[in-house]
Amino acid sequence: MTEELERKIREVISGRGMTSNDIIRELIVKEGTNAEEIRQAIADMVRKGELIKKPDYDRKKFIFYLNQGT
């Protein structure tokens, strides 16, 4: 399930930055996935270097981007 969830996260982000809430909202609507599983998958992908986490100081949120180097 985790690999499939990571693939879906890559598809959702695909070139644009999104907050974790945006990613969760979109995947819950499309897939009916559990929010905690999505958060865990995002954290795992950041640790693996597949996602880049950058702060957005105006929104006071982290924005996640696909790492184009992987």
pLDDT tens track for 25-69: 998 887 777 899 999 999 999 999 999 999 999 999 999 999 987
pTM of the model: 0.87
How far, in Å, CA of 61 to CA of 70, rounded?
24
| Side-chain-facing half-sphere of 40: CA atoms under 13 Å | 9
Domains of the chain: 2-66 (1.10.10.10)
Q: Within 10 Å of residue 7's Cβ, how many Cβ atoms?
A: 11
For tokens 């949120």, the residue is: 61
